[in-house]
Amino acid sequence: MSDMDLPTPDVSVDTIDPETLKSRIDAGEDVTVLDVRAANDYEEWHIEGETVESINVPYFEFLEDEIADDVLAEIPDDREIVVLCAKGGSSEYVAATLKERGYDAVHLEDGMNGWAAIYETVEVSRYDGPGTLVQYQRPSSGCLAYMVYDDDEAAVIDPLRAFTDRYLEDADELGVDLKYAIDTHMHADHISGVRALVEEGVEGVIPQKSADRGATYTDIVTLAEDGDEFQVGDVTIEALYTPGHTTDMTSYLIGDSLLATGDGLFTESVARPDLEEGDDGAPDAARMLYESLQERVLPLPDDTLIGGAHFSDAAEPADDGTYTAPIGQLEDEMEALTMDEEEFVELILSDMPPRPANYETIIPTNLGQNVVDDDEEAFALELGPNNCAASQEALTGD
């Protein structure tokens, strides 16, 4: 039974929009969420937080005239319940059904699709290079992107196709020209926005090594090699080849202050090495990653900020609200960064999380080998956690 087939409830229910729910969670309010999606969808990803109580009861449990007592027993009747589903249809029905029985229930507008559409901007206050640097944060999946702007120019690093209009609107509001759209590598967890921005007149930049991986659109973008520089006002963005997560992984040093590491190094973990060549190629990729970290990243000044393309539930934001941290701090906190090569390789291969959902479709799409014209289909492909890092618990020694 689809949302369209659900009975029409006899009562109306109030709606809460995703942004309001997010602000309440950020403020530390106690929130009780009833997620009525199937158990496997819930296990893959759901709304979490220190003050969030999350309950999973599939919507079909509420379709009977007499709802089972054990089902109702799972749902608190002394507080507001936020009911959510995938798109907002079945959650409205369930919320109404609960309201008929005396519960204080509201439903989340657009469900988890609405949650996935939240995209926040936070200034990186510790960035001390020229211009201004902001971090884009997508809480539903942990995706991060960056925009640096100075004078009348801007660049965005690791843009998402789903938010193409957002980057252009932000640049327009700031009164700057979006000059560059830069990818660190061929992402496995979301559809890149570089080509969409190229269609809007922005200069696209992808790593030179992405061409070796089979990128089909090298004629419409600039290929970045190690040491290449891109100028945005007085800000210099320098390409730093850091393979390991993938063979094309390229970091970008922004204003000699923050290294946008893509999926090479995060504030709570390092990259997983198995998304390009699979399990067989993972050991060699892990050694390549070790060399990149030890020879290209860690020798940078200790106060150089690291800003990855993702954050996980294990990540703690900095005082400015961004997921950034100085290299020196990460060396002190992350055991994996001080190991010898063989220890490092053994560790990151020992506890690999599940691969990103739909990565076998997303990677060829980002390479241009697979076409996904429909924006809704592209959006659906990247729903869920990114899973681009190795196990955080193992790497931090927790």
Please check whether residue 363 is in contact with residue 188, taking contact to mean a CB–CB distance below 8 angstroms.
yes
Amino acid (1-letter code) at residue 101: R
**Residue 96, exposed/middle/buried by CB under 10 A (0-12, 13-18, 19+)?**
buried
Amino acid (1-letter code) at residue 386: N
Q: Say how many CA atoms lie within 13 Å of 388 toward its Cβ.
A: 32
Distance separating alpha carbons of residues 193 and 221, to the nearest angstrom: 13
- SS3 (DSSP) at 304: coil
Strand 258-262 and strand 305-308: the pairing is parallel
Tell me how far CA of residue 4 lies from CA of 1, 85, 87, 89, 155, in angstroms: 8, 14, 11, 8, 43
Q: What's the CA dihedral at 108, 111, 112, 114 to 10 degrees?
A: -80
- Of the candidates 140, 184, 169, the one whose C-alpha atom is nearest the C-alpha of residue 308 is 184
- Of the candidates 247, 190, 163, the one whose C-alpha atom is nearest the C-alpha of residue 213 is 247
The pair of structure tokens assigned to 361 is 């479709």
Distance separating alpha carbons of residues 395 and 398, to the nearest angstrom: 8
DSSP state string for 73-138: TTS-SSSEEEEE-SSSHHHHHHHHHHHHTT-EEEEETTHHHHHHT--EEEE-TT--SSSEEEEEEE
Please check whether residue 157 is in contact with residue 182, taking contact to mean a CB–CB distance below 8 angstroms.
yes
Please check whether residue 99 is in contact with residue 88, taking contact to mean a CB–CB distance below 8 angstroms.
no
> Taking the alpha carbons of 214, 215, 220, 221 in that order, is the dihedral positive or negative?
negative
388 is catalytic: no
Active-site residue, from 21, 85, 157, 305: 85
H/E stretch holding 393: helix 392-396
- SS3 (DSSP) at 25: helix
Catalytic residues: 85
